[in-house]
């Protein structure tokens, strides 16, 4: 197949990282792939190192009148059979042509940005349901899951490098430091859990506010803001517990990554985690906005190694059955082959 991958996203983020994984996986599977992206240097270098030849375009705002025709010229020159537009901005600027145009949604985005698309896909069943409720023809909607890396053999990160004593319980959180991620609630939840250390790996606009909260609560010795990290697998493998505290989370790639690493999961019941996690079977769910329940769930699991092991094993089994690369790639390639022109 000749597949164009259109991405206008930021340097970091869950959708952007999955775009990279999927683009490289399609290429490695023998498909012809053309990435058409906002020219982030690290992403351009990553794709070139894999043998791809990405096209860099501006992907500006509504007044950008050059990106769409330039993308069209690139797709025609490539001979695209299908073009996947990742998220709203790429879909808005996506050109029509002799290819099937597919909009990929990783959230509940305004569908006005996707009106040029022939098909839409969502990475959760709830997003697919929501698209249909907006009036999009159901025969042109599909569920295509994400896959994450297999972290089973990853070496654990050194705890001393994180500021965590070797014997201390380590709770890990991952993601952009943004209000929607609920890290302020997580910091409050960890406070009464005696001896537990919290590592939050991520960067973003809430750093100063979170640092102020940590200082105000006197938690500077137990809460560690580790910045943006690429060694997610190593961090998960060293953690005793992973927590997703998001107030809004359409999917939650981090939950899938914790499943992969066989790290037990506690999650606030936002949209994605409550779809993925079977409460009490392969993870623990707590109500939105209930910091006391979050604290209690963390404390209970840290005190029960056998229960953590059971949840971790069940999560790992879910990863292997539903979210491992070979399983997901087979689904994606079948879908793309079915819609291509």
Cα 102 from chain centroid (whole Å) = 19
266: enclosing H helix or E strand: strand 265-268
Q: What is the DSSP letter of 322?
A: I
pLDDT in tens, 70-93: 999 999 999 999 999 999 999 999
- Per-residue pLDDT averaged across 209-226, rounded? 97
pLDDT of 11 reads 77
Q: How large a percentage of the chain has pLDDT more than 70?
A: 100
DSSP string, 150-213: --TTPPPPPGGGGT--TTS-EEEEES---GGG-HHHHHHHHTTSTT-EEEEE--STTHHHHHHH
Residue 333, pLDDT above cutoff 90: yes
Residue 14, pLDDT above cutoff 90: no
Residue 13, pLDDT above cutoff 80: no
pLDDT of 230 reads 87
Burial readout 34-52 (b: 16 or more C-beta within 10 A, e: otherwise): bbbbbebeebbebbeeeeb
Is 103 exposed, middle or buried (CB count within 10 Å of its CB: 0-12, 13-18, 19+)? Answer: buried
CA atoms of 136 and 125, how far apart (whole Å): 15
Q: Is the separation of the CB atoms in 92 and 66 below 8 Å?
A: no
Global confidence as pTM: 0.89
> What domains can be seen in the chain, in order of their start residue?
2-147+324-339 (3.40.50.2000), 159-323 (3.40.50.2000)
pLDDT of 21 reads 94
Q: Is 270 helix (H, G, I), strand (E, B) or coil?
A: coil
Q: The tokens 């994180």 sit on which residue? A: 162
């Amino acid at each position: 197949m000749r597949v164009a991958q259109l991405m206008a996203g930021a340097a970091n983020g869950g959708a952007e990282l999955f775009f990279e994984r999927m683009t490289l996986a399609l290429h490695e599977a023998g498909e012809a792939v053309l990435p058409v992206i906002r020219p982030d240097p690290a992403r351009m270098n990553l794709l070139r190192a894999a043998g791809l030849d990405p096209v860099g375009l501006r992907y500006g705002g509504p007044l950008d009148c050059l990106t769409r025709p330039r993308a069209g010229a690139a797709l025609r020159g490539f001979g695209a059979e299908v073009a996947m537009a990742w998220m709203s901005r790429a879909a808005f600027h996506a050109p029509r042509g002799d290819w099937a145009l597919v909009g990929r949604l990783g959230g509940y985005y305004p569908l006005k940005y996707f009106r040029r698309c022939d098909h839409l896909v969502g990475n959760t069943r709830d997003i697919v349901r929501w698209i249909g409720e907006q009036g999009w023809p159901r025969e042109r909607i599909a569920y295509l899951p994400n896959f994450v890396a297999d972290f089973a053999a990853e070496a654990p990160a050194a705890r001393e490098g994180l500021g965590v004593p070797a014997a201390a319980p380590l709770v890990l959180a991952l993601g952009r430091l943004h209000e929607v991620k609920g890290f302020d609630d997580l910091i409050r939840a960890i406070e009464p859990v005696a001896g537990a250390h919290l590592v939050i790996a991520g960067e973003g606009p809430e750093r100063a506010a979170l640092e102020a909260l940590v200082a105000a609560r006197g938690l500077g010795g137990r809460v560690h803001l580790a910045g943006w990290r690429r060694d997610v697998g190593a961090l998960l493998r060293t953690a005793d517990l992973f927590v997703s505290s998001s107030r809004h989370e359409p999917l939650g790639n981090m939950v899938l990554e914790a499943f992969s690493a066989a790290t037990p999961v506690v999650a606030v019941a936002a949209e994605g985690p409550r779809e993925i996690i079977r409460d009490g079977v392969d993870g623990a769910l707590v109500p939105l906005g209930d910091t006391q329940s979050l604290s209690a769930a963390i404390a209970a699991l840290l005190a029960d190694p056998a229960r953590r092991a059971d949840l971790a094993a069940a999560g790992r089994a879910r990863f292997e059955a539903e979210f491992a690369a070979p399983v997901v790639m087979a689904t994606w390639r079948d879908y793309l082959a079915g819609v291509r022109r």
